[in-house]
Structure 1
Amino acid sequence: MSQLLSFDEYCDFFAPIGALNSPAELHGMLCGQLSGGARPGLAKWQQMALVFLDLVDLDDKLISAELRQAIAEMYSNTLLALEDEAMGFSLVLPDEDTEMSQRLQALSQWCHGFLTGFGSSGLSGEQSFSPESAEALRDFAAIVQIGTDEDDSEQSESDLFEVCEYVRLAAVNLFLEFSPPSGEGKKQPGIVH
């Protein structure tokens, strides 16, 4: 399975052309869409991503083929990772060398993007949520409000790692609960702990 680009690699594409939102928030939005059962396809996803990043009005010459490819690969690699029985799914967040405040902000943005994507995925109002899924969505909303003034202590590092792992597993569980089988993977429905 192909890997997603790193947070910094996406930033290298997005920042020079003035993208409005971060790679973390874009990836969160995609994961929310997919977890809610939406399958926009590559062409529609590329358009959604450009709108989300506020790049849709740019001259086509400024949006490189490499950027379009990176956005397309984000879609296909994320869907494959969510369907992966080996739990290869990961969040697009800054690495451990980045300041704690920036990593907290990116995690908050990822959760905000997820809630935006999940809410716009087309789930019906009659859809029932398991207690675990309802709790996960409430937790994501709480993480959106997280402060960014943590220090870089060992305890803070450990706490952030645990929260990121919780968010990762919660996203997979929401995907398993609400996403229709695509037939591409051989995932077994169920809750991951």
Structure 2
Amino acid sequence: MSLINERQDFSTIADTFLLHGSMQSPAFLDGRLCAELGLHDLTAEGWLQQVCLTLGVDQPKDEASAERLLGWRRQTLDALSGSELNFEPLLPDELFSLAERAQGLKEWTLGFLEVVEDAGEEPRKAWSAALAEAIDDLAGLAAIYTDIDDSAENENDLFALTEHARMAAMLLYTEQHPGTPQVEKVDEEPPTTH
């Protein structure tokens, strides 16, 4: 079975980064990926070049790494364009401390906003008020205080902030790609009676 079809999670991608000598979190790059897919339809080749540039390598170390990195893009694109609305940002999971998870969300948001800001004002003109507000709210999210202790209240707050980032990414993709996600269509023909 090909690795490209396996579910990529934060730890798997972080391990792939480590294999390439990089200690950075994949969260920042995932934020960039989500915004680029929303705004520019980033190709697989373009994505691989961007990751390699970030990792400071000419190309992935091996075929398995290349497949994992391409699988990450494919998984994100499928989730953003799918009718299930099950997109999730690639962030540290519950195996990480709340502070590490908050830092991951902050990095994801910074990556996402970097691409949006680089796109300039032109794309914004066509945005709905809901999308413009969601993106503007992300700027506040980028400034969150990440030195937090593990508590139920902080956990709930982080969940709500993560949900906001998730919805902003899906809204950006959906508005920039009318007709997707492909939601189930109602039958056009009236029911027949016997």
Gap runs ≥5 in structure 2:
185-194
Larger Cα-atom Rg: 2
1:48 alignment partner in structure 2: 50
Kindly report which structure 2 residues correspond to 1:13-24, keeping only aligned pairs within 5 A, or say none.
13-19=16-22, 21-24=24-27
Which residue identity lines up with residue 114 of structure 1 in the other structure? F
CA shift, 1:44, in A, is 1.6
Matches within 5 A, 1:53-132: 53-57=54-58, 60=59, 63-120=61-118, 124=122, 127-132=125-130
Inter-partner Cα distance in structure 1 for 2:20 and 2:41: 27
How many equivalent residue pairs?
181
Does the 8 Å CA contact 2:38/2:169 hold for their aligned counterparts?
A: yes
| Range moving further from structure 2, 62-71 or 15-24 | 15-24
CA distance in 2 between counterparts of 1:155 and 1:109 reads 22
DSSP 3-state at the match of 2:126 = coil
For normalisation by structure 1, the TM-score amounts to 0.82
Does 1:186 pair with 2:182? yes
Q: CA deviation at 1:126?
A: 6.8
Structure 1 position 20, deviation (Å) = 6.3
Partner of 1:12: 15
TM-score (norm 2): 0.82
Amino acid across the alignment from 1:47: Q
Please give the alpha-carbon distance, in whole angstroms, between the structure 2 residues aligned to 1:142 and 1:3.
Answer: 34
2:133 to 124, 132, 135: 135
1:131 Cα deviation after fit:
1.9
RMSD (CA atoms) = 2.5
